[in-house]
Structure 1
Amino acid sequence: MVGIVVDQMRQEYLYRYESKFGEGGFKRLMREGFMLTNAHYNYAPTVTGPGHASVYTGTTPAIHGIIGNDYYDKELKKMVYCVEDPTQRMIGSTMSGGVSPWRMLSTTVTDELELFTNKKAKVIGISIKDRGSVLPAGHMADAAYFPEGRGGNFITSSFYRNDLPEWVTKFNARNLPATYITKPWTPLLSIEQYTESGPDDSPYERKIGGKEKMTFPYNFAEMIAKGGGDVFAYSPYANDYVTEFAKAALVGEQMGKDEVSDFLAISYSTPDILGHSVGPRSVELQDLYMRLDRNIDDLLKALDKEVGVGNYTVFLSADHAVADVPQFMKDNKVPAGYFNDEYALAKLNEYLATFYPGKRLIEKISNEQVFLNHNAFDGDARTSGLDMFVVAELAGKFLMTLDGVANYYTEAIIKQSDFDEGGLKGKIIRGHHAKRSGDIAFILEPGWFEGNSVQGTTHGSPYAYDTHVPMLFFGHGVKQGTSSVYHPITDIAPTVSILLKIMFPNGCTGQPIAELLKD
């Protein structure tokens, strides 16, 4: 079983770039496999950590607990990273700290495969981002691999093992990033042929690596020499690096060579890393996807050779999609804008001080959630609880006076609601973890997001531009066809479980996609 997650991929890219794709990559998956054209994330926030966790657990942050990439820990009173684990260390690196999936509260489909096979299955996670490798690999994997500093040797965490296998050491000795970075990134076609994208010289692109103008070519070695920093992860060569490592894992771990099913979980992070800077209508992003198409082709050919045609199954999806650059939308007369968390926090505390003088009642605003300062509420339990209820409503009402805020939901409203409720409210409910999330969740208007830069973009909302992602299945046990029936992303894990004939993940709330199954 091979899971491929493309970080920050819209479903519409399959249509928009289709004429520029080759026959053996995305088109092969679409032609010979089964494509769900109406697949969506059914919760918010739509970001990388929760996305990878949801694909592999078959449930949402309300249950698996990964509520953000970085989120505010109410007990520690600070922001924490979703896979950081101070009890672990990096293997193959002198970097401090470690990572693990310990904050993910549900099993993954990869965990269930290990349980079913009494750990005879080989499970490997691979990504440029550690969270894109660790969360899909799960709690029981053989290893989750990611490059040191997103551009160095592949390393892992002591959570999985205490040394690097010989095949990883040999792969690292090839020092591929140093070779890749010497090659300037030039477009595959002449710029005039990128008719699916905007101009190469766009005012909506955020500069990277000290480059004065975000136009082709990109001479990465020159950018680094001028102090541009780590730009490797922005380049298409990072996808090449991940693909080469995945092929090395197939051979090095002898995956798919015996009667026990194995699982290779791959996440391509560069579309997100670059996409944040250049946006979804850039020539750079289109060229990156045309090159990623070649990576998919290369990977499928390796699977054909090493495992055998018909002896493997692939699914491909994304951890979220992406918003258009708000300034671009505004300049084209479409409503959009930017929301400043720090400004909102200051104004909210100022407003509440008129009712509760001398008290700072709001502790943090993060990921479109408001965290109350529970220590500011004194008195007996009944009075304290009533005050928090009142303050939450007051804060919500005030948020509605701020530009860009569409609606709010207090914790009391969320807890009284049904998990399967529809609409935007349902997405908030399924993204809200009772112990970890804030006291108020709010939604911005379509086209708005947190930040203030008029260049670059992001994601995280409950709207279709952030939720609508590809969902492709290909290979053993999968019909050829397509369906426009709505399916949430949480349906992937139970479908994979059916194909593997194993238990569903223990927190799973999704359902198998019956229409794509051969049997």
Structure 2
Amino acid sequence: MKKISFLIFSISIFSLSISSAQTKKTIPAQPKAFPAEVARPKLVVGLVVDQMRWDYLYRYYNRYTNGGFKRLINEGFSVENTFIPYTPTYTACGHTCIYTGSVPAVHGIIGNDWYDPETKKNVYCTEDSSVSTVGSTPSSEGNMSPKNMLTTTITDELRLATNFRGKVIGISLKDRGSILPAGHAANAAYWYQGSTGNWITSTYYMKEVPTWIADYNKLKLANKFYAKNWETLYPINTYVNSTADEKAYEGKLSTFPHQLTQNVDKNFDAIRSTPYGNTITLDLAKLAILSEDLGQDNITDFLAVSCSSTDYVGHAYGPNSVEAEDTYLRLDKDFEEFFNYLDKKVGKGNYTVFLTADHGAAHVPGFMQENKLPSGVVSDRDIANKLNTYLNDKFKVNNVVLKSQNNQIIFDHDKTDKGDVSFDVIKSASVEFLKRLDGFQNAVDIAKISQSTLQEIQKKMITNGYNARRSGDIYYVLQPNWFNGSSTGTTHGNWNPYDSHIPLVFMGWGIKAGASNKTHYMTDIAPTLAALLHIQMPNGNVGEPITEITNK
């Protein structure tokens, strides 16, 4: 019966072909020829510049070299309107979102640290007491792993797609800037131990560091840069994009040149707050490419690098300082050397690089006030104390607020569940109280956010940042350019564009030159890489591929 059916089907197709040929006299279209192998770059390099506001691409553009940021913009594709789709906008959340294509509601990294209501303990994003330091003396700095991240990363998916033949390595001064991008299945993640000046890892990855890391640690390169001090790269009177050299509202009062020689062999951690921290990070990245043969065969490797000194300098001095401008001008030169190294070692056109940021930063309140612009600061401790006092006076409940953290109010549920007043009543009263505090724009019971009067963009960002098992009970929104922190220096974490508008530039293999002003999100980076590499998206992905960037 099957043979008869097949014969009838064949005769029908043959007759249809003759009829078509007789009427159209055309040759049927040939099927598309597919390549013998899936085309991929030899190496993908992810560059995250910690605390880089989008406008830094252009604020210092005229002073950049042709081979650094300008090369990215002119040879690559700039996705000009890229935003973070959640709040709070912190380092750990940002690095995780970039590489997972997901949001804290799904991937679970809701802050750099958070209070876990289930264990009733404060949790650091990459802490892991089951592992220990490798590459230096044992310390809590090495008790780190990606275990708190609940989803896969694009780097994990590359490992899976290549049957674990493609190498993945993460490098950053910060443990969270290295570990979270590298993912769960990484070959290695290395971060800087400020107490010793060593680059370390943990037993999650290996039992001992490779020889090239051990030899690099012996150099103690921080001392080399301390000996140079920190002087401006160009004459200081040319830094016209910055305020005067020293301002009372800067976190560290100091004028150029910054003296560093006193740190030699004593304070290795001080390198973080200088542009030299970026230099040694990219130096180690080049050494990793050389020593691990990254990008040397047809199996795609991935190097995830985070430049963290921009964040330390930004926090201390603010976006309008000479220190910030000089740090970016020096980073530009470091990138030029790094791209030239990639051209030489991997081959121009053989690698794909993308540059983005984990968050931006607010202007320093003192700077804003100096220029008659609204701004201010609040304190987590003051918020919690004031709310506890109010609730105690109103309902006779003692210290029912555990803490204010990550723009959230966290209640002691042992007390709210057993008290005479319902939790809903306590939350409602708390929301109304918070709305009246100086610097507060709004507050909302997260369980009732759909019923709130918040702007839709705020609702979406708060919802995306809310993890049902890790987040607090009330979220509060501050007035623009108000933040939780000190009156000197700056910080980030809010929904506003200065914190959430980030640069995103792709360059190299598979990328065309150009730019787009279409709105995209940080969550779109991972699925774009997945589409480019023809691999699966991370398993918590909520973003979409950015189709404008590709040559195909």
User: What SS does structure 2 have at the residue aligned with 1:231?
Assistant: helix
Q: Are positions 1:79 and 2:122 aligned together?
A: yes
1:250-289 Cα shifts (integer Å, max 9, x gaps): 0110001111100000000000011101000011111110
For structure 2, the 5+ residue unaligned runs are 1-43
Which stretch shows the higher mean deviation, 237-246 or 198-207? 198-207
Of 285, 304, 320, the residue aligned with 1:246 is: 285
* Paired position in structure 2 for 1:66: 109
Query: Hey, what's the Cα distance between the residues in 1 that align with 2:397 and 2:445?
Result: 24
Give 1:499's aligned residue: 532
Give the whole-Å Cα distance in 1 for the aligned partners of 2:195 and 2:62: 31
**CA separation in 2, counterparts of 1:29 and 1:88?**
39
Is 1:90 paired with 2:133? Answer: yes
The answer to which of 338-347 and 108-117 deviates more is 338-347
SS at match of 2:543: coil
Conserved? CA contact 1:150–1:233, under 8 Å: no
Once residues 223 and 499 of structure 1 are traced to their aligned partners in structure 2, the CA distance between those partners, rounded to angstroms, is 45
- Count, aligned residues: 505
Query: Which runs of structure 2 are paired with 1:144-223 in the superposition (5 Å)?
Result: 144-149=189-194, 152-207=197-252, 213-222=253-262
SS of the residue aligned with 1:483?
strand
Letter of the 1:397 partner, please give it. E
One-letter amino acid of the counterpart of residue 469, structure 2: K
Query: Any idea what SS the aligned residue of 1:72 has?
Result: strand
- What does 1:443-482 align with in structure 2 at a 5 Å threshold? 443-451=477-485, 453-482=486-515
Matched residue SS, 2:393: coil
CA distance in structure 1 between the partners assigned to 2:244 and 2:405 by the alignment? 34
1:413 to 448, 456, 460: 448
Q: 8 Å contact 2:82–2:504 — kept in the other structure?
A: yes
- TM-superposed deviation, 1:151: 6.6
Distance 1:377 1:465 in 2: 37
Distance in 2 (CA, whole Å) between partners of 1:474 and 1:367 is 34
- Correspondences of 1:95-494 after superposition (within 5 Å): 95-97=138-140, 98-149=143-194, 152-207=197-252, 213-222=253-262, 230-378=269-417, 387-414=422-449, 422-451=456-485, 453-494=486-527
Deviation at 1:191, TM superposition (A): 0.9
Deviations 1:270-327 (A, max 9, x none): 0001110100001111111001001111111111111111100000000000000112
Using the size of structure 2 for normalisation, the TM-score is 0.89
Q: Secondary structure at the match of 2:475?
A: strand
Which deviates more from structure 2 when the two are superposed, residues 324-333 or residues 352-361? Answer: 352-361
Task: Show the counterpart of 2:34.
Answer: none
Q: Specify the alignment match of 2:549 in structure 1.
A: 516
Q: Quick one: distance in 2 between partners of 1:508 and 1:285? A: 34
Structure 1: unaligned runs, 5 residues or longer? 208-212
> In the alignment, which residue of structure 1 is the partner of 2:75?
32
Distance in 1 between the 2:423 and 2:506 partners?
Answer: 47
User: 2:397 and 2:101 mapped to 1: Cα distance?
Assistant: 46
Describe the superposition over 1:5-35 as per-residue Cα deviations: whole angstroms up to 9, x where unpaired.
Answer: 0000011111110011000001001000000
| Distance 1:495-1:150 versus aligned 2 partners, 3 A rule | farther
Deviates more, 1:104-113 or 1:151-160: 151-160
Q: Distance in 2 between matches of 1:359 and 1:254?
A: 61
* Range with bigger deviation, 348-357 or 261-270: 348-357
| 1:312-362 deviation per Cα after TM superposition (whole angstroms, max 9, x unaligned) | 000000000000011221222211111122222122122222343243321
Q: State the distance in 1 between where 2:211 and 2:334 align.
A: 25
Please list the CA deviations of residues 482-503 of structure 1 after superposition, one character each: whole Å capped at 9, or x if unmatched.
0111111110000011111110
Q: Deviations over 1:435-481 (max 9, x none)?
A: 10001111111010112x32100000000010111000000011110
**CA apart distance, 1:506:** 0.3
RMSD over aligned CA atoms reads: 1.8
Q: Which residue of 1 aligns with 2:56?
A: 13
- Mapped to 2, the partners of 1:327 and 1:355 lie a distance apart of 36
Larger Rg: 2
C-alpha distance 224-337 of structure 1, shift in aligned 2 (>3 A): farther
The answer as to whether partners of 1:108 and 1:136 remain within 8 angstroms in 2 is yes
Change in CA separation of 1:415 and 1:339 when aligned onto 2, cut-off 3 Å: same
> Tell me, what secondary structure is at the counterpart of 1:2?
strand
Q: Deviations over 1:385-404 (max 9, x none)?
A: x8112211111111011111
State TM-score, norm by structure 1. Answer: 0.94
1:210 equivalent in structure 2:
none
Query: Percent identity of the aligned residues?
Result: 46
Match of 1:3 in 2: 46
Distance change >3 Å, CA 44–CA 302, structure 1 → 2: same
* Alignment CA distance shift 1:82-1:416 (3 Å): farther
1:497 partner amino acid: A
Question: Displacement, 1:416?
Answer: 7.8
Give the partner amino acid of 1:157: S
